Amino acid sequence: MSRHTVQVTTGHLRELAAKHGQAATDVTAATDAPAGVDSRIRRSHGAVAWATAAAVGEIQRARIAAGQGMAGECGALCGHLITAARRYEDTDHESGADLGRRLRP
């Protein structure tokens, strides 16, 4: 088994959090983009295309559910990464303060 050193920096955690936050925003925008296509098909093609419009509507609902799930997970991961960064900083500060108290003459 190989040995690897894991190094975590709060800056990197916050950078990753920002990327996941942006991903959540982008997924939400992409999910919302084709909204109303089924209605436009019904209006433009009439009764002859209602079965197609219904199928498109089902696809849209599945797309929305998947997009909302992805955006939710990206947003949650963003929050977890920010929390992890804050905890690293808090631990570092508390450990430094404790060490400072112990080393005072």
C-alpha span between 61 and 88 (Å, rounded): 41
- C-alpha Rg value of the chain to the nearest Å: 24
* Strand, helix or coil for residue 87: helix
**pLDDT on residue 4:** 86
DSSP assignment of 16-65: HHHHHHHHHHHHHHHHHTTTTHHHHHHHHHGGGGHHHHHHHHHHHHHHHH
Tens of pLDDT along 4-36? 888 889 999 999 999 999 999 999 999 999 899
pLDDT digits (tens, 9 = 90+) for 39-62: 999 999 999 999 999 999 999 999
Question: What's the pTM?
Answer: 0.77
Using CA atoms, how far apart are residues 69 and 30, in angstroms rounded to an integer? Answer: 13
Report yes or no: 56 and 41 within 8 Å, Cβ to Cβ.
yes
Q: Are 90 and 43 in contact (CB under 8 A)?
A: no
